[in-house]
Every structure is written in C-alpha cells, then in structure tokens.
C-alpha cells in the first residue's frame, strides 16, 4: 500500500474598495477569506500482492478564486459619478431618452443608479473531489477499470438583486398550445416601489451556489502490444446545481426569482449523462506486403446532447412592474413549473481516422505519408436550438401564454463550439525522419 498525504493553504488578497458609496456600506467592504485549508489524501493498494488487482482512491479540497471581472464591477459600479454609472430605464420612466437620443449627462437623469457589491463574509469557490478506482489485469498489458468519480462544489457565484420588495400579488397565465395547453400558470408579480430609494438595482455578488457530480466509469486500456493499442471508456454521470453562473461579469439578476432560489435546483448546464469513447492504434504484423508499414488509428466518440432551457418571450403586463420579465423582477424568463434545463439536444457522435504508411529509404532515412479525417462521416451535431417556448399575450387582467409552435426547439447551430465535432476535414501530410 502507498499512502500520500498533503495539505495546501491558499489566500487571495483582494484590492481595497476605491470609490465606496456612503449611502450603501456594503460597497466599502471586500471579502477576505482566510480559512482555505485544502487537505489531500491518496491511497494505492495492491490487493493481492501480485500487481494484477489494484484499488486506488483519493480525496481533496480545492479552492477557486474570485475572478477579476467580478472584482472590477465591485470596484467601479458603486453609483458614484467617479465610477461607472449603470442606469435602468423603463419606457414610461420620466426623462427616459427616446432612441436614438442619449442622456446629455448622468446628472440630467432622474433615474437612480444601479450598484454592485459583495455579500458580507464571501467565501472563495470550493470543491471537494473524490474517486475510487478498481483495476484488474485481464491479459498482458490489458486492464479493466471500474471507477466512481464525484465532486461537490460550494460557494459558487450567483448575482441577485437585493432591492426588490415582496411580491405584491400573483398573475395567472392561461396556457395555450404545446405541452402546457389548458393549464394555468400562477407566478408572483413584483410591482410598486423599491425598498431603498437611493438606488435601482442593487446586485449582490453572492457565493451561494452548490453543485454535485457523480459518475460511474467503465474503462478498458491496452498498452501497445503486438501492434495493437486500445483505450475505451463509458461514463454514466449526473451533474446538478442550484443556479451556477456560466459568465464572467456580473448580471443584475440571473435567476428566476432571487427570493426563491429553490426554483434553480436542476440538472447542470454541463450535464452529459452518457459518454462513450474509443481510440486505437493498429500496426498490422503480417507478411502481406499490402499491410506492411501501415498504421490505422480511429477515434470514436458518442455522447448525450446538452440540456437547454425553454424561455418565455414578453413581460408581465402590469404597467407599474418593477422590471421586465415573466414576474416583473428582471430575472430569467422561465416558466417555474417546467424547470431549468428541461430540454435536451440530440446525441452527438463523431469518427476521426488516421491512416499512415512508412517507407524505408537508403541509409537511416524513413518517410511516412498519412491521411487524417476529422468527423469523417460529416455528421451534423447540433449545438444550439431556438429556446423561445411561449409568448406572453392577453391583457393585464387576463394574461396568456401561447406556445411557440413554429420555431421552439428548431436547431440553430451545429458543429461549432468548444466540445462539438467540427465539419468534416481531411488533411494529407508527410514526415521524413533521418
């Protein structure tokens, strides 16, 4: 048995607030998280003493940092003219400029500024990572593995408007068409005045999002033996969180209802329940001159499609609502009963292939010619879809939502993005070794 122990301490020194606003004390304080101890442990156990059956496990605590763009917003968006003023207008706001006109000056605006500040006692993002792996040798240089991989994240950022009153009542939308046809969706509605009359939106940088990831991984690996190398795995996983923000700069409200964060609990933006991968290198060992010197190297991947939201187009009908959106609070326009990431794109598959052949030249010189194909079958792997689920209509006393049957769920992009296979590409090359 081999045991590895470690301990790491991290501290992120934040800058001092530069232009605090005396009307809001929280703009004069930046976090100082000084308790970031990260223990690590790793175990490797040769269960039978012959190197053929091995159990490995590990656990560690790791810390992220508060990113610069978030810090920058906390420094400059304090509602003072010496910083960066952010103002919010409704069409009915007195003195609101009519496009394309602009404000002659910030002082000319009757609108109260938006501000950004950190939640008191903010903690740095934290993740607990752990795994348990069972390896069994089943043939020369061939290992079958069964693994559990998991993580739990804490203190991830979310941005909440803290200057909202309690809902003044509810709105009941009559649903027409689609999967919710004939139902009534009742949501809170925010109208009236903001509690703090000095500001409009008061965005608190809150580090309160939790995440969980659990995965079972089956793998078969064979090191290059007798001209054949194989690496293949299947992952069954589940990733959930309660509103992880996949953005850098702050947003005034990036949840449905900042006063009910339970509505954000759902599968993660990064949830991929099934993923399979296979790669191999085959160098035939044959007396057949047609195969001599060849190398074949395929890579096959297949995975579940990414989840996506169904959004509502339009705003709550009351003219005196505080902000835009389904509930009039400026939050994410999503139907509460449907939930976050309730829809999913089609699965993705991809085949890459490399074929090479080497030739010996006089002396010690060799030349290898190769052909490589990426997304060889030119499969269309969709990466985004139209997310307009329903459209608000009706009147202030009888609001409705009508299903967007024409375009909801239709695909709008494919074969692009960080993880998506690209359109088919074929390249030829040659390599000379001397």
Higher pLDDT, 82 or 304: 304
What band does 317 get if pLDDT is binned at 50, 70 and 90?
confident
Record the tokens describing residue 217, joined without a space. Answer: 């991984």
pLDDT of 108 > 60? The answer is no
Mean of all residue pLDDT scores within the chain: 91
The span from the first CA to the last CA of the chain, in angstroms, equals 45
Task: Tell me what pLDDT residue 105 has.
Answer: 67
More confident residue, 336 or 107: 336
Are residues 271 and 238 in contact, defined by beta-carbon separation less than 8 angstroms?
Answer: yes
pLDDT at 419 over 70: no
Residue 5: how many other CB atoms lie within 10 Å: 9
Lowest mean pLDDT among 104-113, 194-203, 300-309: 104-113
Tokens of 378: 């030119």
Q: How many CB atoms are located within 10 Å of the residue 11 CB? A: 11
pLDDT at 339: 87
Confidence of residue 253 (pLDDT cuts 50, 70, 90): confident
Percent of the chain past pLDDT 70, that is, above it, reads: 96
By residue count, the chain amounts to 434
Where along the chain do its domains lie? 2-433
Q: How many CB atoms lie within 10 A of CB 328?
A: 25
Q: Is the pLDDT of residue 421 over 70?
A: yes
Rounded percentage of the chain residues whose pLDDT exceeds 90 = 74
The predicted-structure confidence for 394-417, as pLDDT tens digits, reads as follows 998 899 999 999 999 999 999 887
pLDDT of residue 146: 98
Identify the pLDDT of residue 106. Answer: 58
Give the pLDDT of residue 149: 98
Res 115: pLDDT: 94
Chain centroid to Cα 429, Å, comes to 37
Token pair of 102 as six digits: 């602009």
**In CATH, what class is 2-433?**
mainly beta
3-state secondary structure 6-19: EEEEECCCCCCCCC
The pLDDT score that the predictor gives to residue 11 is 96
> Which pair of structure tokens corresponds to residue 197?
């009359």
Mean pLDDT for 114-123 is 92
In the numeric block, the tokens 């998506």 are attached to 420
Residue with tokens 């939201």: 309
Structure token pair of residue 227: 């001209």
pTM value?
A: 0.88
Beta bridge partners, 114, equal: 86
Block residue for tokens 């993002």: 125
| Of 197, 122, 187, the residue nearest 163 (C-alpha) | 197
- In whole angstroms, give the CA distance from residue 199 to residue 207: 22
- Whether pLDDT at 309 is above 80: yes
Cα 359–Cα 363–Cα 369 angle in degrees, nearest 5: 20
Burial 287-316 (b: 16+ CB within 10 A, else e): eeeeeeeebebbbbbebbbbbbbbbbbbbb
pLDDT at 111 exceeding the cut of 80: no
């Amino acid at each position: 048995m081999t045991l590895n122990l470690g301990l790491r301490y991290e501290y992120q020194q934040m800058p001092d607030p530069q232009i605090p606003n005396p009307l809001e004390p929280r703009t004069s304080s930046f976090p100082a998280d000084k308790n970031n101890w990260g223990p690590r442990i790793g175990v490797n156990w040769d269960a039978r003493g012959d190197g053929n059956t091995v159990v490995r496990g590990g656990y560690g605590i790791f810390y992220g940092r508060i990113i610069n763009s978030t810090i920058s917003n906390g420094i400059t968006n304090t509602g003072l003219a010496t910083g960066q003023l952010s103002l919010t207008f409704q069409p009915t706001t007195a003195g609101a400029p009519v496009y394309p006109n602009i404000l002659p000056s910030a002082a000319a605006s009757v609108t109260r500024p938006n501000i950004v500040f950190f939640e008191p006692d903010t903690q740095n993002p934290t993740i607990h990572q752990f795994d348990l792996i069972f390896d069994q040798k089943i043939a020369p240089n061939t290992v079958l593995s069964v693994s559990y991989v998991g993580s739990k994240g804490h203190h991830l950022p979310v941005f909440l408007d803290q200057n909202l009153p309690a809902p003044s009542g509810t709105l009941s939308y009559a649903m027409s068409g689609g999967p919710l046809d004939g139902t009534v969706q009742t949501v809170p509605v925010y109208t009236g005045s903001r509690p703090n009359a000095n500001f409009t939106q008061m965005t608190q940088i809150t580090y309160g999002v939790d995440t969980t990831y659990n995965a079972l991984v089956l793998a078969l690996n064979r090191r290059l033996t007798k001209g054949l190398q194989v690496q293949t795995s299947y992952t069954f996983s589940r990733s959930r969180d309660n509103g992880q923000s996949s953005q850098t700069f702050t947003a005034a409200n990036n949840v449905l209802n900042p006063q009910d964060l339970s509505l954000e609990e759902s599968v993660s933006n990064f949830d991929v329940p099934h993923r399979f991968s296979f790669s191999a290198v085959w160098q035939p060992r044959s007396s057949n001159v047609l195969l001599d010197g060849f190398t074949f190297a395929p890579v096959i991947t297949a995975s579940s499609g990414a989840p996506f939201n169904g959004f509502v187009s339009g705003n709550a009908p009351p003219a005196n609502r505080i902000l835009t959106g389904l509930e009039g609070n400026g939050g994410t326009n999503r139907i509460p009963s449907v939930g976050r990431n309730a829809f999913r794109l089609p699965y993705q598959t991809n085949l890459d292939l490399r074929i090479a052949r080497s030739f010996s030249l006089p002396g010690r010189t060799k030349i290898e010619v190769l052909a490589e194909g990426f997304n060889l079958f030119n499969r269309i792997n969709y990466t985004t879809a139209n997310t307009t689920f329903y459209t608000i209509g009706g009147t202030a006393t009888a609001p409705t939502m009508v299903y967007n049957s024409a375009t909801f769920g239709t695909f709008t992009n494919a074969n692009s993005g960080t993880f998506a296979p690209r359109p088919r590409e074929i390249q030829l090359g040659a390599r000379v070794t001397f």
